A and B are shown apart, each in its own frame.
Chain A
Amino acid sequence: MTEQAPADHRRVDDRAVEYPRIVPVGDSAVLIEFGSGIDPVVNARVYTFAGRIEAAGNPAVVELVPTYRSLLVQYNPRENNYAEMSSFLNDLVSGLEDSPGSAAEPTVIELPVVYGGEDGPDIEAVAEHAGLSTEEVIEIHSGTGYRVYMIGFAPGFPYLGGLDERIACPRLKTPRTRVPAGSVGIAESQTGVYPNAGPGGWRLIGRTAVKLFDPHVTATNASPSLISPGSEVRFVPVKSHANV
């Protein structure tokens, strides 16, 4: 791992939660939490565990959705009830702490970004919250590579960890109903890109013209997503979208 895990400042009164913990998500899914914060070791554990479940080949498992610190397991309750699924997962989760995360060199993807102006309408608010100039926000944001912790929220939307705490900023209290495609945003100590126009609550600081997701991929085994979990994203400041 190249970056330091940012401190988790959310659970100011953190209770003594034992991880990993298994909690129900309604009648057809279970969540296995490996921690409460953004941590590359915790994230690696999520993907290791997902691999174990896939290898186990339980026909009751419908779909896995790995995220920063937890794995959602969607299952068919006709095949396994909640007690059976919990027991299956409990058996698999033991000993996971000792297994190493992936050590492979990440693929680096560079995204040209126009910062501020109409491309990044919240950059002043982020700068004000940070007590910095907008130039400093740009310099800090584009000055490092980011680990792709997960893809979620929208097709090909990368959640990137490792944001400098100096420019962390809360989400909007009420989400926008429409965010333009390619918008680069900040939410707490996460940063990411909106591949398509849609609703969203992140603070927008810039925009890229690169297409992140193609649902019509035809090549066999090709991923519809430009960015995959485990790769590294770098933002490159540009003056305009003209040369993209």
Chain B
Amino acid sequence: MPMFNGPVDERRVGRIRVIAPGPQSLIQDGGRTGFQHLGVSVSGAVDVDALNTGNRLVGNNPDAAAIEILLGGAEFVFEQTAVFALTGAETGATLDGVPLARNVSYSAHAAARLVLGMTGPGQGLRAYLAVAGGIDTPEVLGSRSTHVASEIGGVDGRALTAGDSLQIGEPPDAATSGNVFTSTGEGVKVPGSASGSREFSELPAVNVRVVLGPQDDEFSPNGIRTFLNSTYVVTDQSNRQGLRLDGPEVESRTGRYDIVSDAVVNGSIQVPGDGRPIVLLADRQTTGGYAKIATVATADLPLLGQAAPGTSITFASISVEESQELLAARSKRVLDPEPGRVVDPFSVRVDDQHVSVGVVENETARFDHVTHIARIAQIAQIDGVAYPISAERYTPAE
């Protein structure tokens, strides 16, 4: 990748290589603000909770650039030692064969191989790989986020491909393995993420809070009732730009759905001529010409970023004030808590290496059992969650 072979600080700067990107892997950060008046989409992570959580685990700014991995199925190699964390969808990821938990920071040794499996039904749609120092591709108009439709940001404005070698920024001093957000404070919500595989038809409906408007007066009272009392299903024509929903037609007041184009926001729900709502997400255009019946509460947007085709969605109307309270509560939940620490209660010998087994500090969790994994290392199962050995303590087999 000659693109990113600029002068680098050999002492500190690492790289991560894409072996397989899966269905789609994109560099995303907090988004590209400040150019919407020129039609530039904000883009950024669609599950901001997962992006923020991952970055906080590795000591980054919450909005630093990470890799958003659609459906998993991706593979990466750390070319130098790096601290990283996985958040968002469950992908059954492994580091050199050692199973990893989500929402835990790990230290990868040079040449360590990170493999993400495919997400199962009900396990979420997008995983996030945050690396201490952030992904350090060039900023375009103030952001590293990839907007594929306009070919801006990321690597040449495109999704990652096998062979891409991405520069990692200088890791913050605070970067360390063993940080963990447990279920009480993880701030990562995955629709239907309870244990086990489920069929799409068995997924629980995602209830999304909305503030009506700005053009709810373009719809008939009957249309508003239909919108708030029906169950809609996410179609496979959905992407980062928006979720196209199937379900009962929302009736407009005049039989028309066009308005003079005006600005849209993350979570604007527009209704085109076929009467079926479209929820606009991170890659949305800056303006649109369809009437907008409602706006999703910002705190509920990450849910939609994880809503796979087939997910049922219902809408509940709340006030602006309630929506702002939800957002404040979201900040307290995702941005304020300090991560817990994985401590080393004991170490074990595996293949003549001393390795430490982690357990979460200040938790009542106990060891269920310790499982031998491959010939490399061991993990502890605590309340059904695997906490692997901190990876810098052993040498890979290969």
Q: Which chain A residues have a beta carbon within 8 Å of chain B's beta carbons? A: 8, 10-13, 15, 23-29, 31, 36-38, 62-70, 72, 74, 77-78, 81-82, 150-157, 159, 170-171, 173-175, 177, 187-188, 190, 195-199, 201, 213, 215-216, 223-225, 229
Query: How many positions in chain B have a CB within 8 Å of any CB in the partner chain?
Result: 55
Q: A31-B262, A38-B260, A69-B262 are in contact. Are A151 and B39 (CB under 8 A)?
A: yes
CB distance from B29 to the nearest CB of A (A): 16
Taken together as a complex, chains A and B put the C-alpha atoms of A223 and B38 apart, in Å, by 9
Inter-subunit contact A31/B263 (CB<8 Å):
yes
- Can you show 22 pairs from A to B with CB atoms below 8 A apart? A15-B217, A25-B268, A26-B268, A26-B320, A27-B326, A37-B260, A63-B37, A64-B37, A68-B261, A72-B263, A77-B328, A81-B324, A152-B286, A154-B285, A173-B274, A174-B272, A196-B151, A197-B149, A201-B289, A213-B150, A215-B40, A224-B40
- B46 on interface, CB distance cutoff 8 Å: no
Assembly CA distance A12 to B255 (angstroms): 11
In contact, B149 and A154 (Cβ under 8 angstroms): yes
B277-314 CB mask vs A (1 if < 8 Å, else 0) is: 00000000111110010011110000000000000000
**Which chain A residues lie closer than 8 Å to B38 at the CB level?**
151, 155-156, 213, 223-225
Which residue of chain A has the shortest Cβ distance to B321 in the bound complex? Answer: A82
- From B41, B272, B296, give the contact of A175 (CB < 8 A): B272
Please, which residues of chain B bring their CB within 8 A of the CB of A64? 37
Closest B residue to A188 by CB, please name it.
B258
Per the bound structure, the CA–CA distance linking A187 and B258 in Å amounts to 9
Q: Is B149's CB under 8 angstroms from A68's CB?
A: no
Q: Which residues of B contact A188 (CB under 8 A)?
A: 258, 260, 289
**Interface residue? B33 (CB, 8 A):** yes
Taken together as a complex, chains A and B put the C-alpha atoms of A70 and B289 apart, in Å, by 13
Which residues of the partner chain A approach B289 to less than 8 Å between Cβ atoms? 171, 187-188, 190, 201
Smallest distance from the beta carbon of B219 to chain A beta carbons, Å? 13
In the complex, whether B137 has a CB less than 8 A from a CB of chain A is no
* CB closest chain-B residue, reference A46: B262
- Interface pair A63/B34, CB less than 8 Å apart: yes
A26-B241 in contact (CB<8A): no
Interface residues of B in 313-338 (CB under 8 A from A): 320-321, 323-324, 326-328, 331
Query: Do A10 and B265 touch (CB < 8 A)?
Result: no
Q: Which among B38, B141, B150 has the highest number of chain A CB atoms within 10 Å?
A: B38
Which of A74, A81, A152, A171 touches B265 (beta carbons < 8 Å)? Answer: A74
Closest 10 pairs (CB-CB, A-B): A152-B287, A26-B295, A72-B263, A27-B323, A65-B263, A173-B273, A67-B262, A153-B285, A198-B149, A82-B320
User: Whole-angstrom distance from the CB of B173 to the nearest CB of chain A?
Assistant: 27
Q: Which of A12, A197, A215 contacts B141 (CB 8 A)?
A: A215
User: B45: CB under 8 A from chain A?
Assistant: no
Q: How many angstroms between the C-alpha atoms of A145 and B241 in the bound complex?
A: 33
**Which A residue's beta carbon lies closest to that of B255?**
A12
Give the tally of cross-chain contacts (CB within 8 A): 179
Given A69-B260, A156-B39, A195-B150, 14 more pairs with CB closer than 8 A: A13-B253, A23-B213, A24-B295, A25-B295, A27-B326, A29-B265, A62-B33, A66-B37, A68-B262, A74-B265, A152-B285, A154-B149, A174-B273, A225-B38
Q: Min CB distance, B303 to chain A, in Å? A: 15
8 Å CB interface, B227-257 against A: 237, 241, 253-254, 256
How distant is A8 from chain B, measured CB to nearest CB, in Å? 8
Q: List residues 173-212 of chain B with CB under 8 A from any CB of chain A.
A: 210-211
**In the complex with contacts A10-B258, A63-B34, A188-B258, A157-B39 CB distance below 8 A:** yes
Chain A CB within 10 A, most for which of B40, B217, B254: B40
For B261, the chain A residues whose CB sits under 8 A away are 67-68, 150, 152-153, 159, 187, 190
Separation of A175 and B278 alpha carbons in the complex (Å): 12
Expressed in whole angstroms, the Cα–Cα distance for A26 and B299 within the complex equals 11
Cβ of A172 to closest chain B Cβ, rounded Å: 8
Residues of A within 8 A of B272 (CB): 173-175, 201
Q: Does B4 contact A (CB under 8 A)?
A: no
Q: Please, how many angstroms separate the alpha-carbon atoms of A222 and B37 in the complex?
A: 15
Using an 8 Å CB-CB cutoff, how does the interface string of B130-149 with A read, 1 for contact, 0 for none?
00000000001100000001
From the candidates B36, B141, B287, B297, name the one contacting A27 in the complex (CB within 8 A): B297
Contact of B39 with A155 in the complex, beta carbons under 8 Å: yes
Q: Report yes or no: A72 in contact with B265, Cβ–Cβ below 8 A.
A: yes
Please give, as numbers and ranges, the residues of chain B lying within 8 Å of A152 by CB-CB distance: 36, 39, 261, 263, 285-287
CB pair A153–B323 under 8 Å, yes or no, is no
B150 and A155 contact, CB distance less than 8 A: yes
Closest A residue, CB atoms, query B295: A26
- Contact flags (1/0) for B13-44 with A, using CB distance below 8 Å? 00000000000000000000111111111000
A78 touches B328 (CB 8 A): yes
- Which residues of chain B are within 8 angstroms of A229 by Cβ–Cβ distance? 37
Q: Are B39 and A24 in contact (CB under 8 A)?
A: no
User: Quick check: B256 and A82 within 8 Å, CB to CB?
Assistant: no
CA of A72 to CA of B265 in the docked complex: distance in angstroms?
Answer: 9
Cβ contacts under 8 Å, A171 to chain B: 258, 273, 289
